[in-house]
């Protein structure tokens, strides 16, 4: 997609996203993801048998982000932190606790043993627990609770114990 500044580029992008969405409907696809070096697009289509919202994320390098209506905040790309990290194995929504009223699984500074749940990533209404593969200390939580994340995104900066 050619990138230009101003209203015209946002309108063109929305038109292209609309075309991709119509193609998804005709091909009976629920999700579409396009990744390039300086461009990321994710579309999730609402189907008749569920209540998911249409989700569209568009992320350009340093350019402003254009979003379709009702889209969540796009995932911000940041330089990879120095040191060991725990990465998300899947795309979804990051949660620090099993429910809003429950305590978080881990806090910065916590020491955890292998097998302890660090967080949950919700993908397509399935709650996926991300567990520690070895004993570790959580140095920093790198993502915000309740925000969308991508596959292979750094979630925690850790120190192996």
Say if strands 117-123 and 126-131 run parallel, antiparallel, or are unpaired.
antiparallel
Residues 97 and 33 in one domain: no
Residue 26 lies in a domain: yes
Q: Identify the pLDDT of residue 80.
A: 56
What are residue 154's DSSP bridge partners? 87
Residue 121 lies in a domain: yes
Structure confidence by residue, pLDDT tens digits, 59-100: 544 444 444 444 455 555 555 566 789 999 999 999 999 999
Are 55 and 74 within 8 A, CB to CB?
A: no
Residues 156 and 89 in one domain: yes
What is the spatial distance between Cα 157 and Cα 79, in angstroms, rounded to a whole number?
Answer: 13
pTM: 0.52
Q: With a cut of 70, say whether residue 57 has pLDDT above it.
A: no
Residues 150 and 108 in one domain: yes
Q: How far is CA 161 from CA 56, 84, 135, in A?
A: 40, 12, 5
Residues 135 and 96 in one domain: yes
Residue 109 lies in a domain: yes
Residues 145 and 91 in one domain: yes
Q: How far is CA 64 from CA 4, 9, 11, in A?
A: 10, 11, 13
Q: In this structure, what DSSP letter does residue 58 have?
A: E
How many structural domains is the chain composed of?
A: 2
Residues 36 and 96 in one domain: no
Q: How far is CA 18 from CA 2, 11, 27, 43, in A?
A: 17, 10, 14, 10
Beta-carbon neighbour count of residue 125 at 10 Å? 9
Domain with 13 in it: 7-60
Residues 49 and 106 in one domain: no
Residue 55 lies in a domain: yes
């Amino acid at each position: 997609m050619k990138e230009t500044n101003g209203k015209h580029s946002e309108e063109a992008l929305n038109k292209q996203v609309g075309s991709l969405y119509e193609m998804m409907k005709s091909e009976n696809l629920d999700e579409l993801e396009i990744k390039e070096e300086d461009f990321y697009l994710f579309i999730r289509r609402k189907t008749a048998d569920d209540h998911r919202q249409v989700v569209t994320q568009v992320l350009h390098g340093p350019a402003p982000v254009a979003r379709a209506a009702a889209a969540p905040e796009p995932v911000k790309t940041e330089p990879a932190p120095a040191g060991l990290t725990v990465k998300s194995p899947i795309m979804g929504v990051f949660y620090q606790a099993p429910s809003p009223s429950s305590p978080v699984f881990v806090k910065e500074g916590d020491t955890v043993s292998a097998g302890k749940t660090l967080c949950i990533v919700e993908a397509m209404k399935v709650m996926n627990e991300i567990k520690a593969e070895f004993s570790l200390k959580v140095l920093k939580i790198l993502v915000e609770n309740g925000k969308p994340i991508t596959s292979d995104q750094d979630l925690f900066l850790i120190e192996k114990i």
